[in-house]
Chain A
Amino acid sequence: MTNETIRLTQTVKGSGCAAKLAPGDLDRALCGLDLPVDPNLIIGLDRADDAGVYRISDDLALVQTIDFFPPMVDDPYSFGQIAAANALSDIYAMGGIPKTAMNVVAFPAKTLDIRVLRTIIEGGLSKMREAGVVLVGGHTVEDSELKYGLSVTGFIHPSRILTKRNLQTGDCLILTKAVGTGIISTAIKAGLVSPALTDKVTRAMATLNREAALTMQAFPVHACTDITGFGFLGHLAEMVVDSGHGAHIRAANVPFYPEALEWAAMGLIPAGAYNNRTFRGGFVDFGSGVAQRVQDLLFDPQTSGGLLIAVAAKAAEQLVDALKARGIESAAIVGEVVAAPIDRIIVE
C-alpha cells in the first residue's frame, strides 16, 4: 500500500444524503403495497415519519430507523462519524432515546484497503459512545461502491412521540444547523473547498442532534423532523402537507454557509437538489426578492442536518436561547406556521 491519502468521495457517484432516491420514485415504489397490520404499530410506512414506532406497553415503545449512504467527505473516520450521527438523528427527531445500533456496510474490498473500513467503524463507534448507544451487530456486503450507516433502535414514551404532522397555527419554526452541506460536499468533490471549511462542515455534520433533542424536551414543541436528503423545503413541505397547514419562511433568517451560496451560483449543486425542487417545488412560492442561488440552497439535500422544530410562539425565543446556551450556535427562528393557505410554503 502507498501512503497516498485516500479521497473517499472520488470513489463514488453520489454523496451522502444527496444519494437518496428521488422522492417521486420512492412513492411510486411504495404506493399501494399491501402492508401487514398490527394494532401496536403506532407509526409505520402508511404515515411515513422519521422513524417507525411500535408500542410494547402503555409507557414504552420501540422507535426504529435505518440510514446509510456513500461517503460525502474524504476522511474515513469522519465519514463514519457523520453516517452514525445522521442515522441517530431520526430517533432524536421523534423525541426518542437511541439504545442499540447495527452497522450496515457495503464495501469494495477489491479496491479499498480493509483498514479503511475499520477506521470508518471506529468513527461510527465514537458517535455511538457519545449517544450512549451499544453496537449489537451488523451486516456487510461486498459492493462496487462504499456505503456505511446504522440501523438504530431506541425507546420512546408512546404519548410523547414528536411527529411531522402536528404543526399548530402560530407555531414558530426553529432550525438548529446551517444548510448548504450538499453543495459544499459537491464542491469538496470538485476539490474547491479549503481545509478549514471542510473541517468546519465535517464537524457540523458529525454533531449529534442529541443536545437539541434534550433541550426541546422542556418546551411546548408540537412537531419535529430532521433535515436530510429532501432539503429544508422538502422536509418542511412534508410537515406542512401532513399537518394541513401552511408556512411563512424568511429566507434571510435561515442559517446557511455563505460559501455554499457562491458555489450554488456556479452550478455546484447536487442532482438531489433538483429532484427535491421538481418533487416539492409545487408547494413553494418564492417572493421576487429570493435569488435563484438562495432557492437552490433551500432545496439542497443535507447530510446529518439539523432539527426543524415547531414550537409554540411564546416559547420560541427562549428555546433558541436555550439551544445557543447548549452550544447550538446556528439555531434560529426561520418562519412560522399559518392556518392558510394550506399546503403552501411562502418564502420571502
Chain B
Amino acid sequence: MTNELDCRGLACPAPVLQIKDLLEKAAPHALTVLVDNEAAWQNVSRLLEYHNFQVSTERQGSEFRVVATGKEGGNAPERRSAAPAVKKGESGEKKILVMVGTDRMGHGDDGLGGKLLMSFLKTLKEMGPDLWRLVFINSGVTLTAEGSEAVPILQELAGEGVQILVCGACLTHFNLLHKKKVGETTNMLDIVTGMQRADSVVTI
C-alpha cells in the first residue's frame, strides 16, 4: 500500500499533524510526502524516522519529495496492531527490555544489594544483541547520574547500541535532571510503548 500526501503550502506543524493522523488511521508501510519548505521537510523526515521508516528525499527546486519505506515492517512504534508481527529484529534475535526500578538488588542487606546490582549491570552484556533497552525508574535513575559507579557500565552498553531510557519525572523528583550522565530522558508513554514492543520484560 502506497500513500501520497501533498503538504505543499502548509506551515509547520500542519504537515507533521497530517502524517501523524494518517499513520494512526491507515498504518501505511510506505509513504510519500510532498512539502515546499525546508523546515517542513526536516520536520517530516524526523517524524517518519521516529516511526521507524527508512527516509530518503528527492529535491526538486524548492519542493521536497520525502519517500518513506518500512523498516521493521514499517509500523509506528505506538501502533497496537504492529505489535505481534514486528517484534523480532531482522536478524531474528529477541528484544529484551530490562526495567530497573531500584538502586539495589534483592532484599536483606542494602550494601550487598547495591553491589549485586552493579554486578548485574556488568553482566547484562552477556545477553548479547537480545538486550534491547534499559529503562530506569524511581530510585533506579540515581544509577544514571553523576557519581554513580554504574555510569561507565551504562555508557559502555549505550556504546554497543543498547537504548538507555531514564524516567524524566523520577529525575525531577530526585533533583537529578541536570546530573544525568547517560541515557535519554523518557516519559511513561515511551516506557509503556517499549514494554509492548519488547519480547520480554525483565523487572529488577
Contact residues of A with B, CB < 8 Å?
Answer: 13, 186-187, 189-190, 252-255, 258-259, 261-262, 264-271, 273-275, 291-292, 332
Contacts and interface: CB of A to CB of B under 8 A. Distances in A.
Interface in B5-33: 11-13, 16-17, 20
Contacts of B11: 13, 271
B43 A259 contact: no
Given A252-B178, A255-B177, A265-B50, A270 B190 contact: no
6 contacts: A258-B171, A261-B184, A267-B50, A268-B13, A275-B39, A332-B178
Lowest 3 A-B CB distances belong to which pairs? A267-B43, A271-B39, A258-B168
A255 B177 CA distance: 8
Nearest to B168: A258
B138 interface: no
Dominant secondary structure of chain B at its interface with chain A: helix
Interface of B: 11-13, 16-17, 20, 37-39, 42-47, 50, 168, 171-172, 177-178, 180-181, 184-187, 190
Contact of B17 (A190, A275, A292): A190
A269 B13 CA distance: 8
A269 B43 contact: yes
Contact of B46 (A187, A189, A267): A267
Contacts of B16: 190, 266-268
A271 B12 contact: yes
Which one of A186, A252, A267, A332 has the greatest number of beta carbons of chain B within 10 Å? A267
A145 B25 CA distance: 33
Nearest to A272: B39
A269 B46 contact: yes
A262 B42 contact: no
Given A266-B50, A268-B12, 4 more contacts: A258-B185, A266-B16, A269-B43, A271-B38
Contacts of B44: 267
Nearest to B38: A274
Contact of A270 (B38, B39, B177): B39
B39 A266 contact: no
A143 B32 CA distance: 37
A267 B187 contact: no
A262 B185 CA distance: 9
A273 B17 CA distance: 18
Contact of A262 (B37, B38, B190): B190
B27 to A, nearest CB: 17
Contact of A265 (B12, B39, B46): B46
Nearest to B42: A274
Which one of B16, B47, B180, B187 has the greatest number of beta carbons of chain A within 10 Å? B16
A269 B38 CA distance: 12
A81 to B, nearest CB: 24
A220 to B, nearest CB: 23
A174 to B, nearest CB: 12
Which one of A258, A262, A273 has the greatest number of beta carbons of chain B within 10 Å? A258
Contacts of A332: 178
B133 to A, nearest CB: 15
Given A187-B13, A255-B177, A266 B46 contact: yes
A149 B40 CA distance: 28
Given A265-B50, A270-B39, A252 B187 contact: no
B17 A266 contact: no
B150 to A, nearest CB: 16
Given A190-B17, A255-B178, A332-B178, A270 B187 contact: no
A263 B142 CA distance: 25
A92 B80 CA distance: 51
Nearest to B175: A329
Contacts of A267: 13, 16, 42-47, 50
B83 to A, nearest CB: 20
Contacts of B45: 267
Given A255-B177, A274-B42, A261 B12 contact: no
Nearest to B155: A289
Contact of B181 (A252, A271, A275): A252
Nearest to A265: B50
B46 A186 contact: no
A270 B11 CA distance: 10
Contact of B43 (A189, A262, A268): A268
A269 B187 contact: no
Contacts of B12: 186, 268-271
Contacts of A261: 184-185
A333 B16 CA distance: 35
A186 B13 contact: yes
Nearest to A291: B184
Nearest to B180: A252
